[in-house]
Amino acid sequence: MNIGQASKASGVSQRMIRHYEKLSLIPAPPRRDSGYRDYSDADVHRLRFIANARDLGLPIGEIADLLSLWHDRGRGVADVKALALARAADLGRKAVALERLRATLVDLAGSCDGVDRQEFPFIDGAAGEA
């Protein structure tokens, strides 16, 4: 499929597909005789993974690490398991921290009465002053 079809199938813009190719997150696809890129279903699957990971806030470096786990057939099973569990633990710590931040923001927002005034408990709390 061409880049437009891959973009539509994956939900990733053509510009970002080219960007991910430059970053080696997806391999450069073969080209047709016409010069157009020829993407596979596996490429679309990889693009969807990248898009979902970006939506979750993962940085490009972490996405690259996860993709390398997925595609490195030469790694031993124990290595893959150890790296996957380490990454899962990191994500678990981030999830806990994000939940704490979310709860703090909800509490701080609840302390604001919506009246125009000079004191802002929400901002004070977010700055660590509450």
Please count the other Cβ atoms lying within 10 Å of the Cβ belonging to residue 56.
12
pLDDT band of 118, cuts 50, 70, 90:
low
pLDDT for 126 equals 57
Look at residue 25 and tell me whether its pLDDT is greater than 60: yes
Read off the pTM. 0.65
pLDDT band of 90, cuts 50, 70, 90:
confident
Please count the other Cβ atoms lying within 10 Å of the Cβ belonging to residue 46.
21
